[in-house]
Amino acid sequence: MINVTCPIFLAKILVQLNDHKSKESSMVQELCYKCCKLSGYYSSKNDLTTMKKLYLIALCFLLSSSEVVMAQDKQVKMHQVVMQLNTADTAVWTSMLGNIRNFQKVWPGNVKIEVVVHGKALNFLVASKSHLVADVEAMTKLGVVFNACENTMNKYGIKKEMLISSVSSVPSGVAELVIKQEEGWSYLKTGY
């Protein structure tokens, strides 16, 4: 015969659960009773000590297996961040790239990032004027999207061919920011 023991703190939990009359609790109690009956542990439903011990074991098994199933079903959240860059301050440009690296470090493979560049920041994406071309190209290879505002490009006479080859453009930078926020993306303004 198997010796079934339970610690005091688990026994207290069992008593509380035994008082809870849910459908699942009744099913576990019935299962324990049938197991006890089949195994010959006791001959009547009045042998509560054995019943409670087996109930606790069955309940612990069911709870742990349901947690495993829930953990397997739980999908990893994909974070979506749209960043606004509209300053000529190159220190802010560098800081923004650091923020992107931090996002990728905290959520490796679980973050989509789009940087919308407009206004005085446009030179950040102009190949002949940016000192961060290699960084932008490297981040683009990692899935970061850099979009230049076409309104700003027109204002300053910048053609698409003048941009870093790996970046894209959008008709309006501010409209792109609104669209992304309406789609549920988190908004982050870089700089000040």
Q: What is the pLDDT of residue 137?
A: 97
| Distance (Å, whole) CA 118 – CA 100 | 18
SS3 80: strand
- Average pLDDT, 10 consecutive residues per value, the chain (192 residues): 41 47 54 54 54 62 51 71 97 97 95 97 97 97 97 97 97 98 96 76
Question: Among 3.40.1260.10, 3.40.1800.10, 3.40.228.10, 3.40.50.720, what is the CATH number of 79-189?
Answer: 3.40.1260.10
Q: Could you tell me the residue ranges of all domains in the chain?
A: 8-73, 79-189
